[in-house]
Amino acid sequence: MKRKNHHPQGRATGAEGIVSTGRDAEVSKLLWKDEDRPFARIDVSRTRRRGFPEAIYCPGKTPEQVVSILLAQHESGATPVLATRADLAMLKYVLPRVPGSYYLKQGHLIVLGEGAAPLHGGTIHVISAGTADIPVAEEVAAVAELLGNAVERTWDVGVAGLHRLLDRIEHIRKANVLVVVAGMEGALASVVSGLTHQVVIAVPTSIGYGASFEGLSALLSMLNSCSPGVATVNIDNGFGAACLASMINRSMAVR
Amino acid sequence: MKRKNHHPQGRATGAEGIVSTGRDAEVSKLLWKDEDRPFARIDVSRTRRRGFPEAIYCPGKTPEQVVSILLAQHESGATPVLATRADLAMLKYVLPRVPGSYYLKQGHLIVLGEGAAPLHGGTIHVISAGTADIPVAEEVAAVAELLGNAVERTWDVGVAGLHRLLDRIEHIRKANVLVVVAGMEGALASVVSGLTHQVVIAVPTSIGYGASFEGLSALLSMLNSCSPGVATVNIDNGFGAACLASMINRSMAVR
Amino acid sequence: MKRKNHHPQGRATGAEGIVSTGRDAEVSKLLWKDEDRPFARIDVSRTRRRGFPEAIYCPGKTPEQVVSILLAQHESGATPVLATRADLAMLKYVLPRVPGSYYLKQGHLIVLGEGAAPLHGGTIHVISAGTADIPVAEEVAAVAELLGNAVERTWDVGVAGLHRLLDRIEHIRKANVLVVVAGMEGALASVVSGLTHQVVIAVPTSIGYGASFEGLSALLSMLNSCSPGVATVNIDNGFGAACLASMINRSMAVR
Amino acid sequence: MKRKNHHPQGRATGAEGIVSTGRDAEVSKLLWKDEDRPFARIDVSRTRRRGFPEAIYCPGKTPEQVVSILLAQHESGATPVLATRADLAMLKYVLPRVPGSYYLKQGHLIVLGEGAAPLHGGTIHVISAGTADIPVAEEVAAVAELLGNAVERTWDVGVAGLHRLLDRIEHIRKANVLVVVAGMEGALASVVSGLTHQVVIAVPTSIGYGASFEGLSALLSMLNSCSPGVATVNIDNGFGAACLASMINRSMAVR
Amino acid sequence: MKRKNHHPQGRATGAEGIVSTGRDAEVSKLLWKDEDRPFARIDVSRTRRRGFPEAIYCPGKTPEQVVSILLAQHESGATPVLATRADLAMLKYVLPRVPGSYYLKQGHLIVLGEGAAPLHGGTIHVISAGTADIPVAEEVAAVAELLGNAVERTWDVGVAGLHRLLDRIEHIRKANVLVVVAGMEGALASVVSGLTHQVVIAVPTSIGYGASFEGLSALLSMLNSCSPGVATVNIDNGFGAACLASMINRSMAVR
Amino acid sequence: MKRKNHHPQGRATGAEGIVSTGRDAEVSKLLWKDEDRPFARIDVSRTRRRGFPEAIYCPGKTPEQVVSILLAQHESGATPVLATRADLAMLKYVLPRVPGSYYLKQGHLIVLGEGAAPLHGGTIHVISAGTADIPVAEEVAAVAELLGNAVERTWDVGVAGLHRLLDRIEHIRKANVLVVVAGMEGALASVVSGLTHQVVIAVPTSIGYGASFEGLSALLSMLNSCSPGVATVNIDNGFGAACLASMINRSMAVR
Amino acid sequence: MKRKNHHPQGRATGAEGIVSTGRDAEVSKLLWKDEDRPFARIDVSRTRRRGFPEAIYCPGKTPEQVVSILLAQHESGATPVLATRADLAMLKYVLPRVPGSYYLKQGHLIVLGEGAAPLHGGTIHVISAGTADIPVAEEVAAVAELLGNAVERTWDVGVAGLHRLLDRIEHIRKANVLVVVAGMEGALASVVSGLTHQVVIAVPTSIGYGASFEGLSALLSMLNSCSPGVATVNIDNGFGAACLASMINRSMAVR
Amino acid sequence: MKRKNHHPQGRATGAEGIVSTGRDAEVSKLLWKDEDRPFARIDVSRTRRRGFPEAIYCPGKTPEQVVSILLAQHESGATPVLATRADLAMLKYVLPRVPGSYYLKQGHLIVLGEGAAPLHGGTIHVISAGTADIPVAEEVAAVAELLGNAVERTWDVGVAGLHRLLDRIEHIRKANVLVVVAGMEGALASVVSGLTHQVVIAVPTSIGYGASFEGLSALLSMLNSCSPGVATVNIDNGFGAACLASMINRSMAVR
């Protein structure tokens, strides 16, 4: 991972990747390939700005790129560095080449570095409608834990057997933030929201078939919830839900 | 409403409109316009074949056509004859010209003739998620009553306040058939189905905005229900739901 | 499949999974993984509440999960326990590990336990438009039989050769409930409904290509049927159609 | 309707609008507005090339433009000149300003000039599923008649009462070409095609509601017909269907 | 607004509308029409459960219903009671009949009763991309203020002139929660999220034309934001965004 | 392929599969599996009724079923019997088991039996926009030839190089019927129609990427053609286009 | 249109609306309503940055807002200031209140101030497929002229009569940039691109019906053009096409 | 690759493939298979007419066809000849059979022949939002370079870390044309356009998941850009973007 100082497309080394969009100078770090142009610009100031570092979305990236970015982020001090949706081939290539990295199977996450310091106070409660939604729900839970949150999990409480949810509802009401993960008709988000006082972050999943149209049905349900206070993220976007939940939980915890 | 006997496109009067698709001869009755060709073929044997007469779907028909079809069906012995989704202009034209007809405002129905003989035994319970769903829910209820069924109504028990439904659930469990009418995310169909032992006929409504896409969200929710035993009809199709519910209720009642 | 009694997320063993949503206490049974949290909550009272036990939808579940749930449901007294849409890998893993389980090839079903007691009286008649629709149609038929219904099958009577249907129509009219399974333009549901007096449960299939959009064309056809009395389920949802048909048939038979 | 000879954007008068795309010179005639540029280029050789003249699709055109184009086409010898989908305002403006023009109410057509010479031999049979489909079906029939074809009409034979169609089927089999006009689920096209030996031109209509999505359901049904030999045109495109039917009928008749 | 005690569909007055879904008894209050059945069930315990009272979504409800629900909620102690998306006819009917009610023109809100007690501490900053997005943005701001929040507004800082946003960014960074309201391509949500440390609640609007498909373009943009920490609500759903923002702001303020 | 005479679901052998839907008795022939119910009903009278025999659409059928149906159709006298869209596995299974069958690689067709007797007179001209559209175009051409038509082929004359089409246009104008096969934007159908006097049968293909949405773009183009006289079939439906073209060509040829 | 200096949401007057995103300071000017917050931020440096001033998209803005923005932009020195898609009510309110403003009927534009200085050299040639596309095509032409370009217009050369285009093609080849405006199937863009050497800016219009889905068909056609060198803008986006064409033409002319 | 002179479908050799659509004779060259009909018509005059030769889109073509077309185009003098989207199997077949051909891995391009002569003057600057968008962005860059343009690349400057873009913006402003390549929400196109004075060619990519619907989200964003001057091409259409950029750059450079 060399770095070329004199390429016409680049800038002087010292000045590279520093710009101000307000109070502080924002920094980026360039990763070079073939000595001539950077294929990635690490957003070094992301943690300071957003509260968590950049994550690496694996699909569409080469294993070499993932390795480079993991190492560069780690060098920049970001921690934990996460690579999401890593498949088996990615996993086999990356782990041996990135010392200290490990794999969280449930959430399909490659992790490098320490998790964030634990927050004091509240928990994030992640709730899944079905057993098949667990991989996405675990992505939520694992990322939230790595960002320092205490996490509770309640799996398989879909509305076809509502007593399973009611059985847990008092416990669920104790959390700071709720994340509901559901495929098919996605009704669980509205039902949980109607029974509780917290923000509900709704994650539609692609579980289903036919007219679920790979998650569209659950997505529309959540966007159209008759219970105000439901915030929706993209289909299967466990990572994004975890960031949102962590931001809310952190804002409640830090004082 | 004359009838032309010798048009080359027609058939001999006696034989017209009679054909066998099985055991019995099926009969249709032609309505003629301008002396030369029929604009409608009344399905005279519909009640015998399906258990209820043809209904007249008003949109796209002229008021003159609606009057003619109402009168002709009545002459053929069908009762009650229903014209659905009649707007104000239709209403004002039709009622004075069709003796004995009246209007059911809640269900937007023009009715001619006696309702069907009352069934003994069970009830159909119609449940609406919101107050804005009542017009469709009333179309279900009114048509079901005209077809001879006892009907119960429970309005405004959407999942945003689940206790409203649970408060009624014992009563709802006593019916023979359930019809759930809901717009927005349509979650109520799954929830009711999960709590009861009956067939749930689900009617998505076009109530909602934005990503409800005029009922698509509720429709997809109902089709993807995680609780088996939910039968879906078209968006806002109160009439069809009432026919289905009545067919099931009737089959349980007649023995 | 151990069970952890003292986890903070759980509840005391005796009280676990019991809640009332009305007259009776509803019971669920938790399946634990890794000693710390349940990945499934078996809805033990489903049969009492809905009339048939939970089925296990295989896609998205691990083979280990499917084995656990099959065994747990069986222990809870549910019978028959069904796992739907099992592919070959699932099959090879599950059958040797679940004593007494067997495979119904036509319907892609893993079955454990006795079928429901036979109903007296009517039959469910399952009708497919084409030979390629048979796998879904067989899922309907097999599940309905396991739920205790007598089932008739009429395959390959699509509307391109209408006489094939008319040839069978007298026989079809003898059933209690009809299920029509069709892909492509799905016209068969309307045609059958127009010729008979029964409820028609319509199952669109994903058979087709191009503008069938994997079953959308047939689904829309069935929802828009000009013949009232057609109840639609999700694309390829043979299991759901069988449950609906069985609920209706049972309600007619028990008296 | 002046004509400007010397505008820099134009060409010399004699040479204007003549080009060869093969054997013959194709001619167009320019309509000028405000002395400076043409707003329309009448395709004078359309009848020679396609067998029927350009029709004027009214929506989106000003009444002044429709009058100009009608007159110009008539001067060029085209007959009959048709303006389709004329609403009331268009009608009131155009008829008094175009001597000899008249209105065909059923098909929403403004007509100028003689119909084409009658063809000898076969007929086009236009079949509508419902009474509400008649306006589109009449557009088919009226245009086909103006193009010189003998036309038969069979209205209101939707599949909900199949005997109505079977009652007419022997007569329908005598035509040269069939046109099926249907909204809602559009099943009639497949059914007619399966029962006859002719080409079926299928016209989906926007009649329906909810999941008919303004004709999409019928359109998809017709495109996915399980009976080969169904040719589909755009939703509500009665004019296009008439042209197709006339081209086929003409090719059979001229020999 | 009478109340019927002895209707067979109802329950004894004292017991009506009270059920427990956990710790506390949830209460609903029935509104009766025509002495025989309730058209609405006021969710009396909503404020206690969710932190804000039910709002009345006007479209699809009759003016009489809106008046009844406003009065009944007010009697139950809910405050402020809001009726959203009231058009002119609704306004003219409701205001004279509901003493103390008034209209917030910018947000299309009818308000009855005091706003919630002011929160201490942070603000909600509402940001609109264009001037045409202001009505939705004002719905956010007005509802948030009525729920007790301090609100800042920054209008017309769309990404076509990015300096307008950068000019305000230091000020925006001081808020507790951000709400971004944008139509067309909806890019502003991602850009604001990338520049700040707060949760961004993204409200797509139906402003746009052509391939904006009435807000779909902005909705998809927000769901696919490359910057984690964006929570999306339905198109034009200013009310829902305000509730979410208020829940987050409140949780940060109360300690 | 045994045949069971006494199954309760069947009918007496002699009477099986014969029904009248008009002038003639229509015949079907049942194929039995496992001695108890037929998986296919061969439409023996298809050729007499439609002019060409049933074709076997391979996807979704088992190789065993395809073999059985091929043999049964052949026994019934249908010729040529075609199985469309046969993949390699199907091919390898079927050919050795069906004596006399062969494979037309270009059109992915398995053929059994003689082609239809050659028609006298006109040709069908098949035109493809690109080289990648040839497989579908060859399906058109091969089926049309097997149905007895003389066929001309013009490949790779897409509108990006219009002179390639103009170079052939005089020759194209000599055919009886035109079939245009195009993916991507599908503009070729309108252009050919505008230049010629024949019916244009338009076949959209799934060739393209991105916003072609697997043929949707070409399909919509063809349905919206500004040139009347374009008849559209399903995406990639070469077989259907060939049947249509053959029906038209035959009707012109037989006199 | 007062201006408030001391509002807490604002900034000091001198510093307001100035920020650097590179070389130069970008300036915005705030429009205040009700003394307390700005409803618009005029992008004063737009012309310097993009080459043309901000245009005011009227739909969704109040007439008062349009007047304020027109006047403020004019004061800031922008010229010409354009308000697009002004309907009659907007027109009647705005013109009397904005001295010097006038209306270009063809393009639905309100104009204030001088057009840009004429460019030397090339022309932009705007081509419409049909007469009904002229309003959008005139928006292109009028805006391009106001931005200083010489514009040629060729209307009504749709591909149904290709000779009309070929007749003009030599003239069209002389322009610097081409803009093709077409609804329905939008084939003209590909055809023009295939015949010329220039960039083709393609504007789909909402002209059409049924499966044109309000411009979707033409939009997809243009995006999928088989001829490289076609750049697509939003449906009916005449303004955007004019800006693009002007940017290209200007870059060719200034040297 | 023989050539057949006397086939009835062909024309005399000398006259083949030459037609005039204006000033010059356009030439095409036929590639023959099996001695009897051409499978491709090389558009020999493409470079003269459009400024760049035909490219070969590999998907859907056989390797044999790709080899033939590459060789034939090269013989005709076109250079460079490009085959786009070549997968590994294509690559392995083609390279050994086409002397002088080579592979550009980044852009998935097979290249034969010299690149175009370098242009003098400006550059095309290609900008990608993410690392995963690089393959499409490299297709843009590589094709543009082969067409003679100087190209700059800036990768990974998505709006989640806006300073990365601002850091490069002065450099970006020096180019003649900008190409923005982005998946997910595609916001980068609007942001770049708002900050610069050049035409922005926007290339949506299929990078993303869930509600990105394989590039639809980015495509709609770019079409709805609030910043005029954005020209959109098909999803992942790097080749088309390069041609557009080159046409604009060339027109600025040649003078």
pLDDT in tens, D48-63: 888 888 899 999 999 9
Exposure class string for D120-130: b at 16+ Cβ within 10 A, else e:
eebbbbbbbbb
Contact state of B43 with D166 under an 8 Å Cβ cutoff: no
Task: Select from C185, C208, C211 the Cβ nearest to the Cβ of D187.
Answer: C185
Cα angle value H140/H145/H147 (rounded, 5°) = 100
> What residue in B sits closest to C172 (Cα-Cα)?
B22
Q: Evaluate whether chains B and D are touching (3 or more beta carbon pairs less than 8 Å apart).
A: yes
**pLDDT for position H61:** 94
Nearest C-alpha neighbor of B133 from the set B236, B245, B240, B241:
B236
pTM to 2 decimal places: 0.93
**Is H199 in contact with H231 (CB distance < 8 Å)?**
yes
Tell whether H239 is within 8 A of chain G (Cβ).
yes
Task: Select from F186, F195, F220 the Cβ nearest to the Cβ of G211.
Answer: F220
Tell whether H204 is within 8 A of chain E (Cβ).
no
Which of G163, G191, G214 to probe the D interface (max D CBs under 10 A)? G163
Task: Select from F159, F213, F216 the Cβ nearest to the Cβ of G226.
Answer: F159
Q: Evaluate whether chains C and F are touching (3 or more beta carbon pairs less than 8 Å apart).
A: yes
- Backbone angles phi and psi of E2, in degrees to 5: -75, 180
Chain G residues near residue H25 by CB distance under 8 angstroms = none
Q: Evaluate whether chains F and A are touching (3 or more beta carbon pairs less than 8 Å apart).
A: no
- Global ipTM: 0.90
pLDDT in tens, A56-90: 999 999 999 999 999 999 998 899 999 999 999 99
Return mean pLDDT, chain E: 88
Nearest C-alpha neighbor of G255 from the set H176, A247, C111, B51:
H176
Chain D residues near residue B46 by CB distance under 8 angstroms = 160-161
For chain E, which residues score pLDDT lower than 50?
A: 1-15, 35, 255
**pLDDT for position B254:** 54
- Backbone angles phi and psi of B66, in degrees to 5: -60, -45
Looking at residues A109-132, what average pLDDT do you find? 92
**Is E89 in contact with E63 (CB distance < 8 Å)?**
yes
Chains contacting D (3 or more CB pairs within 8 Å): B, C, F, G
Asked which of B134-148, F19-33, F155-169, G156-170 is least confident by mean pLDDT, the reply is F19-33
Contact state of H37 with F133 under an 8 Å Cβ cutoff: no
Tell whether F195 is within 8 A of chain H (Cβ).
no
Q: Structure tokens of C182?
A: 């069709």
pLDDT in tens, D58-78: 999 999 999 999 999 999 889
H92 Cβ neighbours under 8 A, 6+ residues apart: none
Return mean pLDDT, chain A: 88
pLDDT-derived band at G10 (thresholds 50, 70, 90) equals very low
Chain B residues near residue D210 by CB distance under 8 angstroms = 204, 206, 214-215, 219, 234-237
For chain C, which residues score pLDDT lower than 70?
A: 1-17, 23, 33-36, 253-255
Task: Select from G129, G194, G220 the Cβ nearest to the Cβ of F159.
Answer: G194
| Residue B124: other Cβ atoms inside 10 A | 29
pLDDT surpasses 60 at D255: no
> What residue in E sits closest to G36 (Cα-Cα)?
E153
Looking at residues B155-183, what average pLDDT do you find? 95
Closest-CA distance, E22 to chain B, in angstroms, reads: 10
**pLDDT for position A10:** 39
- Mean pLDDT per 10-residue segment, chain H (255 residues): 38 52 78 73 88 91 94 92 94 96 90 89 94 96 96 95 93 96 97 96 97 97 96 97 96 68
pLDDT surpasses 50 at F8: no
d(CA H234, CA B2): 60
Chain D residues near residue C193 by CB distance under 8 angstroms = 160
Which of D131, D159, D188, D207 to probe the C interface (max C CBs under 10 A)? D159
pLDDT-derived band at B9 (thresholds 50, 70, 90) equals very low
**pLDDT for position C246:** 96
Task: Select from A11, A38, A235 the Cβ nearest to the Cβ of H155.
Answer: A38
Chain D residues near residue F224 by CB distance under 8 angstroms = 234
DSSP line for H34-63: TTTEEEEEEETTHHHHHSSPPEEE-TTS-H
The helix/strand/coil state of F211 is helix
**pLDDT for position F27:** 80
**pLDDT for position E88:** 93
**pLDDT for position B198:** 95
pLDDT in tens, F211-230: 999 999 999 999 999 999 99
**pLDDT for position A6:** 37
pLDDT-derived band at A17 (thresholds 50, 70, 90) equals low
Return mean pLDDT, chain B: 88
Provide the β-strand partners of residue A232.
A202, E232
Closest-CA distance, H145 to chain F, in angstroms, reads: 23
The helix/strand/coil state of D31 is strand
DSSP line for chain C: ----S--TTS--GGGTTEEESSSSEEEEEEEEETTTEEEEEEETTHHHHHSSPPEEE-TTS-HHHHHHHHHHHHHTT-SSEEEES--HHHHHHHHHHSTT-EEETTTTEEEESPPPPPPPS-EEEEEESSGGGHHHHHHHHHHHHHTT-EEEEE----GGGTHHHHTTHHHHTTSSEEEEEE-TT-THHHHHHHH-SS-EEEEE-----GGGGGGHHHHHHHHT-SSS-EEE--TT-HHHHHHHHHHHHHHHH--
Task: Select from H17, H40, H204 the Cβ nearest to the Cβ of F131.
Answer: H40
Alpha helices in chain F, H assignment, sequence order? 46-50, 63-75, 88-97, 134-146, 163-166, 169-172, 188-195, 216-223, 238-253
Asked which of A119-133, G177-191, G225-239 is least confident by mean pLDDT, the reply is A119-133
Chain centre to alpha carbon of residue F249: 15
Tell whether B213 is within 8 A of chain A (Cβ).
yes
pLDDT-derived band at B39 (thresholds 50, 70, 90) equals confident
**Is F244 in contact with F201 (CB distance < 8 Å)?**
yes
Closest-CA distance, H247 to chain G, in angstroms, reads: 7
Looking at residues F176-202, what average pLDDT do you find? 97
pLDDT in tens, B43-87: 888 888 888 888 999 999 999 999 999 999 999 889 999 999 999
Q: How many residues does chain B have?
A: 255
Chain G residues near residue F186 by CB distance under 8 angstroms = 185, 187, 221
Alpha-carbon dihedral angle through residues D191, B241, C136, F44, given to the nearest 10 degrees:
-20
Tell whether E132 is within 8 A of chain G (Cβ).
yes
Q: How far is CA A111 from CA A101, A142, C14, E111, E228, in A?
A: 5, 10, 39, 51, 18
Bigger pLDDT: H130 vs B18 = H130
> What residue in C sits closest to F29 (Cα-Cα)?
C164
Chain A residues near residue E21 by CB distance under 8 angstroms = 166, 169, 195
> What residue in B sits closest to C191 (Cα-Cα)?
B21
pLDDT in tens, G81-128: 999 999 999 999 999 999 999 999 888 899 999 998 888 778 999 999
F19 Cβ neighbours under 8 A, 6+ residues apart: C163, C166, C167, F25, F26
Tell whether F217 is within 8 A of chain H (Cβ).
no
Nearest C-alpha neighbor of D247 from the set A209, H241, F249, C41:
F249
In which element (H, E) is residue H29 found?
A: strand H25-33
Contact state of G28 with E132 under an 8 Å Cβ cutoff: no
